[in-house]
Structure 1
Amino acid sequence: MQVATLAPNVPAMHELHFAVPMAGALICPLNTRHDSAMLSVLLEHSEAKIIFVDYQLLDIAHGALKLLTKTERKPPILVLIAESDGPLPTDHISSETHEYESLLAEGHDGFEKYDQIGGTNVCLRKVTPKAIFDNIALHNVTHMGGAPTVLNMIVNSPISDRRPRPHTVEVMTGGAPPPPQILSKMEELGFGISHLYGLTETYGPGTSCIWKPEWDSLPLNERYKLKARQGVHHVGLEDVEVKDPVTMASVPADGKTIGDIMFRGNTVMSGYLKDLEATKEAFNGGWFRSGDLAVKHPDNYIEVKDRLKDVIISGGENISTVEVETVLYSHPAILEAAVVARPDNHWGQTPCAFVKLKEGYDGVGAQAIIKFCRDHLPHYMTLKTVIFEDLPKTSTGKIQKFILREKAKAMGSLS
């Protein structure tokens, strides 16, 4: 049985990640940023029998279930995660109002304490720098996790949002290659950074960039470049390799030869739900193919160069969007940046950057950023287009490049 959830990072969501599997069911977490139409499609595909819904997302869930009532699919039972201190809503369970069954569950914001493992999980309903600093101080937080976008929010937060910390807070980051500049600024603020890498298909982190004592004596810039690597696989995973996707041979550990990162082990998914063809393609050759292109260094540490679908091919040259983005993040005016391919009738594709500037830097124009890239990158990797706008993100803060790719495609050829 599948159990869907539609909730932000609250204790009930944390509990459901344990309770649902312990009950012998499969959990299907839904993105809180989806609209009713998309949620109805996902609910129909997952065949969820129950959906737990946070009270703030009830209207969206109602919309999705109403759409399902117009199909042959029976809507799942809706279980409302109610506000802890608020009045208990009753209209959502009225059979006269809705054509599906609903139940009520008591919820609460804040944190969960787990004495059996000696830890406390602090849940943030909404992730803001102020909430992060406040909760670190309030609950004496020692460890936290966040995507590079969250770290970027922290390092660019106003002084008024920050609070002193009596100890170093160890941060685990992943979800996208973290710019070395962000890692450096985080440590200046008193955070220790550990870089993890993995995918949903690998049950989260599959590798960790384990710090080596001999790196301590290296120059700062070199240290943060090393910390941005994806590292080596953890003990719970059988193996991670960088392989030639055609021959399936492992690439040499020379830090230059690019291959596809592949996983094998019992924390790797068994397949995609009701999609046999995609499953066969993903496991072609007996390994799970991540779609991430990387090199392996002589010390066997992996370094991601780009997503296979994000590589820009311009005039026959492969351009790593990660490398271009790293340069962009070193510009003092840039808060966020993402690089995608824009079609070009002459070159095939050219790099196009979507950029959000920091406050007070509105006067910085596209040509200034293009010149900055030209000064720090090979000429063929230099940006040809810069668009200033807010970047679309997932509920966990990852930049949605597929949206930006479509925007760049719609622009048409530059030449």
Structure 2
Amino acid sequence: MPISTMNRNELQGNMQPTNIFDQYLPATDANYVALTPISFLDRAAFVYPDKTATINGTIHHTWSEVYKRCTRFASALTKCGIGKGDTVSIIAPNISEHFETHFAVPMSGAVLNSINTRLDAEAIAFILMHAETKVLITDREFSAVVQQAVKMVANKPLVIDIDDPSFDGGKLIGQLTYDQFLAEGDEDFIWVRPDDEWDAISLNYTSGTTGDPKGVVYHYRGAYLNAVSNILSWEMGNHPVYLWTLPMFHCNGWCFPWAIAATAGISVSSRHVRAEAIYNLIRTEKVTHFCGAPIVLNMLNSVDEAVKSGIEQEVKVMTAGAPPPASVIQSMEASGFKVTHTYGLTETYGPSVVCAWHDEWNDKTCEQQARLKSRQGVRSPLLDQLMVADPITMEPVAKDGESIGEIFMRGNLVMKGYLKNPSTTQAAFAGGWFHSGDLAVWHEDGYVEIKDRSKDVIISGGENISSVEVEDILYRYPKVQDVAVVAKKDDKWGETPCAFITAMPNTDISEQEIMHFCRDNMAHFKTPKTIVFGELPKTSTGKIQKFLLRQRANDLT
């Protein structure tokens, strides 16, 4: 009998009560595997074994060599008893060994923790203890501060030195060198795949919004997908030549170590971010891509034209951090660079929002184009959802370019959560969205533009500075009665800390002694660049009115 003439009840009676597409189609090893960015290295080594993968001065390694070095390092970690759930930390500049750890550490099943090289010993010690670091890899350049930090840690990690021949300075403080440790591993080691995409692959610490930094845990799925998202949003193509100006300790270099492997590109090391060296590497290594905070772009803009000459290839630049002035973008593009503006947080694997370009904007003036590019943008290809909404009601604001709300994200490009901090994690995910803490407007075309920050975090040269942390240290100075630290706009750094201080009664206090105290008690990049003495504006309940101080700071010449 044709189905069209069957009795409806008979038809329903013959149907199974389950989803017909799931009934006989279980996931198997043949058709389902947990996503891991380590597979990018595996493929690059197989398909392009003899193609250059890393360049660190005169030292070049092919993809086959990088793969073997990573498997040997992972094997050596395993022989030391390091495995799933263990933390391996690294403090190093943007050199090849740092790039390798992004694969070698997860290959052992352990979690990679790349530490900010600009932190002081106390902050580093806190991270080592909070992360329960079992192995610490460190470069000679940071031996003094690392040695001091390790002394503060009760359960001391195995320390491995990177003895980079291109750097002259520092000393070896560990039990053995990176190369010696590498020699203990097996080249044919079968690397460890994650049991689940939700497993932790890396741990990145924020600069701290309330003093101590928070440990942001990344999962394999997010790392894999954000690497692919970077490739798509930046049109990286095959075999890009990527120059490291963005620190690898920042959101795992925005996941670009894994993106470079996925495209079988070249990772070009750059120990220090200096304008002439960057231009030289762009010329000599034929660099096609690099990332940098607005301060880096401004530095590159400020050099003599002769330094910029001789670059024939197209160079794409990705920038994020403090919102870049349109003039900085305009100057970079006038020098022949193609700028892409992105936005994100440590909690979103770095860039998760991109100022995607429209062809019709090509007809606008250079100034208009730069203004459009200075907006944060729309969700990147693999971010599921983005909205600007009222932080209380979670209702989206009008797309009128005027109504202010908080930026919210949702999807696979959001962290697992904060390490050992369930209450803060729960608050960050309240309502089923990640709360960025950044205030913005939503334009009619759907593009987001940040207007202010709901948290008092200062972004200086791409680095987050906790105003609360700086205030806490200043309050330790015996002559300080009240203090408030706010962001002051700066042409070079984007923002710098500005400290408003009320001195203790009947005391004399000078700007110079405050500066000396700060430099002795905090990382230099956190030191206030401006000091203002006087009474602080307060509410009737005694709360300092920081919004008035921000206005006052930006009115200063």
TM-score computed with the length of structure 2 as normaliser: 0.54
Question: Is 2:160 aligned against 1:79?
Answer: yes
Cα distance in 2 between the residues matched to 1:229 and 1:247: 25
Cα distance in 1 between the residues matched to 2:299 and 2:172: 39
Match of 1:138 in 2: 284
- Aligned 8 A contact 1:196 1:206 in 2: yes
SS at match of 1:192: strand
SS at match of 1:106: helix
Cα distance in 2 between the residues matched to 1:403 and 1:340: 7
Match of 1:119 in 2: 265
Question: Is 2:379 aligned against 1:233?
Answer: yes
Cα distance in 2 between the residues matched to 1:306 and 1:241: 16
Match of 2:179 in 1: 106
- Aligned 8 A contact 1:180 1:225 in 2: yes
SS at match of 2:133: coil
**Matching of residues 291-310 of structure 1 within 5 Å:** 291-310=437-456
**Matching of residues 322-401 of structure 1 within 5 Å:** 325=489, 329=491, 335-336=492-493, 338=495
Deviations 1:302-335 (A, max 9, x none): 11112113599xxxxxxxx99x94xx74xxxxx4
Distance 1:412 1:42, change over 3 A: farther
SS at match of 1:242: strand
Distance 1:310 1:91, change over 3 A: closer
Cα distance in 2 between the residues matched to 1:403 and 1:141: 34
Distance 1:88 1:341, change over 3 A: closer
Q: Specify the code of the residue in structure 1 equivalent to 2:495.
A: A
Cα distance in 2 between the residues matched to 1:161 and 1:143: 18
- Aligned 8 A contact 1:134 1:163 in 2: no
Distance 1:17 1:412, change over 3 A: farther
Of the candidates 91, 94, 105, which is equivalent to residue 20 of structure 1? Answer: 105
Cα distance in 1 between the residues matched to 2:402 and 2:527: 30
- Aligned 8 A contact 1:242 1:250 in 2: yes
Cα distance in 2 between the residues matched to 1:341 and 1:247: 33
- Aligned 8 A contact 1:310 1:340 in 2: no
SS at match of 2:300: helix
Deviations 1:194-224 (A, max 9, x none): 0011111000110110111111222322211
1 or 2 for the larger relative contact order (CA 8 Å, sep ≥6)?
Answer: 2
SS at match of 1:309: coil
Deviations 1:265-310 (A, max 9, x none): 1121111111222212211222111111111111111111121135
- Aligned 8 A contact 1:7 1:32 in 2: yes
Match of 1:288 in 2: 434
Query: Structure 1 residue 158: deviation in Å?
Result: 3.1
Task: Please tell me the root mean square deviation across aligned C-alpha atoms, in Å.
Answer: 3.4
Match of 1:52 in 2: 137
Match of 1:167 in 2: 313
Structure 1 regions of 5+ residues with no counterpart? 94-101, 313-320, 330-334, 346-391, 393-398
Deviations 1:325-382 (A, max 9, x none): 4xx74xxxxx45537777699xxxxxxxxxxxxxxxxxxxxxxxxxxxxxxxxxxxxx
Query: Structure 1 residue 411: deviation in Å?
Result: 5.3
Cα distance in 1 between the residues matched to 2:379 and 2:121: 38
Match of 1:8 in 2: 93
Cα distance in 1 between the residues matched to 2:453 and 2:358: 27
Match of 2:147 in 1: 62
Q: Specify the code of the residue in structure 2 equivalent to 1:62.
A: Q
- Aligned 8 A contact 2:322 2:494 in 1: no
Q: Specify the code of the residue in structure 1 equivalent to 2:156.
A: P
- Tell me which moved more, 20-29 or 248-257: 20-29
Query: Structure 1 residue 168: deviation in Å?
Result: 2.3
Of the candidates 278, 299, 323, which is equivalent to residue 424 of structure 2? Answer: 278
SS at match of 1:255: coil
The count of aligned residue pairs is 331
SS at match of 2:173: helix
- Aligned 8 A contact 1:84 1:106 in 2: no
Q: Specify the code of the residue in structure 1 equivalent to 2:296.
A: V
Distance 1:411 1:344, change over 3 A: closer
Distance 1:87 1:311, change over 3 A: closer
Match of 1:349 in 2: none
Cα distance in 1 between the residues matched to 2:167 and 2:330: 42
Distance 1:297 1:78, change over 3 A: same
- Aligned 8 A contact 2:143 2:171 in 1: no
Match of 1:243 in 2: 389
Distance 1:337 1:118, change over 3 A: closer
Structure 2 regions of 5+ residues with no counterpart? 1-85, 181-242, 245-256, 459-485, 503-518, 538-551, 553-557
Deviations 1:14-59 (A, max 9, x none): 1112222232221111111122222111111111111110121122
Cα distance in 2 between the residues matched to 1:116 and 1:337: 32
SS at match of 2:117: coil
Question: Is 2:38 aligned against 1:38?
Answer: no
- Aligned 8 A contact 1:342 1:413 in 2: no
Distance 1:298 1:344, change over 3 A: farther
Cα distance in 2 between the residues matched to 1:14 and 1:26: 15
Cα distance in 2 between the residues matched to 1:230 and 1:117: 26
Match of 1:362 in 2: none
Larger gyration radius, structure 1 or structure 2: 2
Deviations 1:79-129 (A, max 9, x none): 111123689999635xxxxxxxx221139xx99997873311112100011
TM-score computed with the length of structure 1 as normaliser: 0.72
Cα distance in 2 between the residues matched to 1:219 and 1:199: 31
**Matching of residues 197-208 of structure 1 within 5 Å:** 197-208=343-354
Identity level (%): 37
SS at match of 2:333: helix
Q: Specify the code of the residue in structure 1 equivalent to 2:127.
A: L
Distance 1:89 1:289, change over 3 A: closer
